[in-house]
């Protein structure tokens, strides 16, 4: 076998076996050269092959990292994380980071139609797909409108079922703004990504069936997003 292919295969096997975990930095070119007893040019050819396969990400000055598998999330008017993931044949899971009541700031109050300082329920979660962390989300709800939200959510485990228990059977997305930025130290640790890999940031507003603001949220994710436009109406 050609030397660079042997190195590429060896590193790929380690990544698949989780000896090198997603987001973890690979050994340096110098270290790999010593391990396989080859020159750096051969190592670079192997790393280039892994990068072309989408297995490794390389950045000049930072080194090479095992690439995290990226899940595809579609934007819907009715966003339902659990249902969407299960439809794709994968297993969803959420983990609560924070769940408390606090005073609303100017941004949250404006989005939910509240006065600054009115209490809101703040829920922060980490989302997993097949036990891989893919995103962090922050959710804000009017505490006055949904008294007992915290206890109900703890019992139900999902936002959708919690809202159903409050007599809100349906909610839709009014708008979403998407941007990208580098992760903070905490975000990188929770999502197991290197700090040079950007996250997609979604700021959104969900409304109830009457058009009244219901939830203001911010999510940061490692997923790819697909936006599908409806076919034009023919006349």
Strands 132-142 and 171-181: unpaired
How far is residue 197's CA from residue 195's CA, in Å, rounded to a whole number? 6
Q: Where are the domains of the chain?
A: 3-66, 72-226
Cα 13 to Cα 41, 68, 97, distances in angstroms: 21, 15, 34
- Diameter of the chain by CA atoms? 69
CB atoms within 10 A of CB 180: 9
Average of per-residue pLDDT across 86-95: 82
Give the class (CATH, top level) of 72-226.
alpha beta
pTM: 0.75
Average of per-residue pLDDT across 201-207: 95
How far is residue 206's CA from residue 22's CA, in Å, rounded to a whole number? 33
What pLDDT digit, counting tens, does each position of 150-188 carry? 999 999 989 999 999 999 999 999 999 999 999 999 998
- CATH architecture label of 3-66: Orthogonal Bundle (1.10)
What pLDDT digit, counting tens, does each position of 51-64 carry? 998 888 887 777 88
More confident residue, 47 or 24: 47
**CB-based contact 180:187 (threshold 8 Å):** no
């Amino acid at each position: 076998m050609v030397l660079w292919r042997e190195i590429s295969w060896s590193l790929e096997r380690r990544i698949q076996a989780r000896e090198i975990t997603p987001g973890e930095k690979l050994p340096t070119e110098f270290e790999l050269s010593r391990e396989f007893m080859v020159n750096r040019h051969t190592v670079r050819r192997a790393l280039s092959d892994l990068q072309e396969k989408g297995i490794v990400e390389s950045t000049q000055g930072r080194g090479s990292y095992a690439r995290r598998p990226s899940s595809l999330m579609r934007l819907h008017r009715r966003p339902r994380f659990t249902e969407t993931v299960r439809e794709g044949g994968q297993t969803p899971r959420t983990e609560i980071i924070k769940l408390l009541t606090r005073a609303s700031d100017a941004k949250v109050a404006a989005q939910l139609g509240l006065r600054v300082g009115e209490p809101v329920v703040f829920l922060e979660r980490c989302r997993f797909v097949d036990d891989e962390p893919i995103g962090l989300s922050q959710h804000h709800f009017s505490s006055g409108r949904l008294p007992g939200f915290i206890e109900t959510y703890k019992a139900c485990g999902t936002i959708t079922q919690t809202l159903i228990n409050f007599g809100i059977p349906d909610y839709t997305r009014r708008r979403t703004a998407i941007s990208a930025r580098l992760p903070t130290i905490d975000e990188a640790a929770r999502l197991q990504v290197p700090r040079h890999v950007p996250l997609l940031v979604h700021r959104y507003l969900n409304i109830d069936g009457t058009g009244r603001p219901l939830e203001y949220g911010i999510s940061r994710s490692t997923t790819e997003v697909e936006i599908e436009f409806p076919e034009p109406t023919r006349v």
